[in-house]
Amino acid sequence: MIVQVPAINGLGITNGCESAPKLICDSLNLESKSILVDNGNVDEQQEKIYSEAMRILKSNKSENDKINFIGGDHSISFPLCKAFLENSENPGVLVFDAHPDLMEPMQNPTHEEWLRALVESKNFHDILVVGIRRNSENVDKREVDFAKENSIKLIYADEFDKRKEEVLSFCKGKQIYISFDIDVFDEALVDSTGFPESNGLGENLIDLMKKIKNVNVLDLVEVDPTKGDFEKTLSIVRRILWKK
């Protein structure tokens, strides 16, 4: 199942990401549903995403079909993942991202602190974040400290090859939610995003993802068709969604 979620709450920084869901689905000829949101009313937007996600997750339990939510910026992951946790018996959250997204949350979590808001609001800590850039100016030491203090596991991009088996071990025996920020890839591979970073992951990440068989929900976020080479990015998006 494909669900479009054209929502943004990046305080103007992520403008452009709202156009990604429709462009991706149209370009890849994907049948999809949509969660209609008002990006001018963030309170209403987040509640709408949460309530629709709850409805979809409950109705999908008998179908055993992986749900792919396409955003939008990373703020959508807060209400989506909150709904997932409330519908799962043994959940694990796997995040692929160049940045931890663990800054102190605002009232309505944005793309920069959605994960911390999830940890604090749900008291949930079974989280693995993969692909963080070790020396990025967009990674704050306070985020890394928060991860350590809350037992959130981190795998930096420069150690991915030697630690990738840990990703598979983390997923074993759980219902898995994957939150996939497209900027986890090296900027030479993907640059249609607001915060492209060098020294990122390559296509071997997609090979690893294919080995994870127990994914219940995946969200794909931070694609910005107004930036970079969208066609090049789209070829990676196709493979993330497991379309040849």
Binned at pLDDT 50, 70 and 90, residue 62 comes out as low
pLDDT of residue 212: 94
pLDDT of residue 179: 98
Nearest one of 71, 81, 187, 86 to 129, comparing CA atoms = 81
Neighbouring CB atoms inside 10 A of 139's CB total: 19
pLDDT digits (tens, 9 = 90+) for 74-117: 999 999 999 999 999 999 999 999 999 999 988 889 999 999 99
How far, in Å, are 43, 173, 177, 178, 238 from residue 225 at the CA level? 26, 36, 25, 22, 14
* Domain, as residue range, for 166: 2-240
Binned at pLDDT 50, 70 and 90, residue 10 comes out as confident
How far, in Å, are 3, 4, 53, 122 from residue 33 at the CA level? 5, 6, 12, 28
CATH number of residue 100's parent domain:
3.40.800.10
Residues 6 or more apart whose CB falls under 8 angstroms from that of 83 comprise: 50, 53, 54, 57
Global pTM value: 0.96
Contact between 197 and 183 (Cβ < 8 Å): yes
Three-point CA angle 112, 140, 79, nearest 5°: 20
pLDDT value at 168 more than 60: yes
Q: Looking at mean pLDDT, say which of 59-63, 73-77, 104-108, 206-210 comes out highest.
A: 73-77
Neighbouring CB atoms inside 10 A of 32's CB total: 17
pLDDT digits (tens, 9 = 90+) for 228-240: 999 999 999 999 9
Q: What percent of the chain has pLDDT over 90?
A: 90
What's the chain's average pLDDT?
A: 94
pLDDT of residue 3: 98
pLDDT of residue 52: 98
pLDDT digits (tens, 9 = 90+) for 127-142: 999 999 998 888 889 9
| Overall domain count for the chain | 1
Residues 6 or more apart whose CB falls under 8 angstroms from that of 228 comprise: 190, 191, 192, 193, 196
Mean of pLDDT values over 149-172: 97
pLDDT of residue 64: 65
Q: Please, what is the end-to-end C-alpha distance for the chain in angstroms?
A: 16
pLDDT value at 58 more than 70: yes
